[in-house]
Homo-oligomer: A and B are copies of this chain.
Amino acid sequence: MHQETIENYLKTIYHLSDGNAFVVTNKELAERLGVIPATVTEAVKKLHVLKLVEYEKSYGTRLTSAGIKQALNIVRRHRIWETYLAQELGFGWDEVHELAEELEHIKSDKLVQKLAQKIGNPSYDPHGDPIPDEKGRFQKAEFKKLAEARAGKTYTLSGVADHSPAFLKFLDRYNLKIGTTIKVLEIENFDGSMLTLCNSKEIRLSLQVVSNLLVR
């Protein structure tokens, strides 16, 4: 099996199981990877032979500890690259994901180590996602959706649930970035939108938007 294929499967299984060793279905995997379920069946069988996943026929797939370890390493690479591209090379947070999807497959731990060092071994990537360290450890961030916030309170934008360039560019237009303070002035019952105070400006954010903003 090609290393890049393996890495994409492990990473996807990891994300679908939300970091835990929960079972993932073929259908979910197929959708995320852009292949049909039949292809997934073949692939997970091979990953099973490689002892990277536990696989029970017609039931589902979960990462083994070896699989989790590799998955965390790929997640680390991805997020280190994203952060490096943003901090050192001036890419926007809407541009880094696509590039990191390619760069994460470069086979060199030394390179990742140097990149990380250059940017001061950060704990979070440009989207607020935690970066595992060399041993795979990271603190699971305790964020909640702004959509679940209460009127009158003030929050700090700490992450985004939607990583699409369209959404991120939208946030850029209002200068909303990780660390920005958001005060919830009013919640509209009718459509779930929120009137907020961001950067000393009153902005109304739709339910769509506040559901994808993670705050502390």
Chain A residues with a Cβ under 8 A of chain B: 85, 88-91, 99, 102-103, 106-108, 111, 114-115, 118
Residues of B within 8 A of A111 (CB): 85, 89, 99
A2 to chain B, nearest CB (A): 12
7 A–B contacts, CB within 8 A, in A order = A88-B88, A88-B118, A89-B114, A89-B115, A99-B108, A99-B111, A103-B106
Q: Which residue of B lies closest to A85 (CB)?
A: B111
* Copies of this chain assembled into the complex: 2
Q: Is B118 a contact partner of A89 (Cβ separation < 8 A)?
A: yes
Residues of B within 8 A of A103 (CB): 103, 106
Contact of A102 with B106 in the complex, beta carbons under 8 Å: yes
Tell me the bound Cα distance from A160 to B214 in angstroms.
53
Which residues of chain B come closer than 8 Å to A99, judged between CB atoms? 106, 108, 111
A179–B147 CA distance with the chains assembled, in angstroms: 61
C-alpha gap A88/B108 in the complex (Å): 16
> In angstroms, how far is the closest chain B Cβ from the Cβ of A60?
32
Shortest CB distance A43–B (Å):
19
| Alpha-carbon distance A108/B97, docked complex (angstroms) | 13
Residues in B neighbouring A102, C-beta threshold 8 A: 106-108
Task: Please give the distance in Å from A8's CB to the nearest CB on chain B.
Answer: 16
Give, as a whole number of angstroms, the nearest-CB distance from A118 to chain B: 7
Interfacial chain B residues near A107, Cβ < 8 Å: 102
* Complex contacts, A108 vs chain B, CB 8 Å: 99, 102
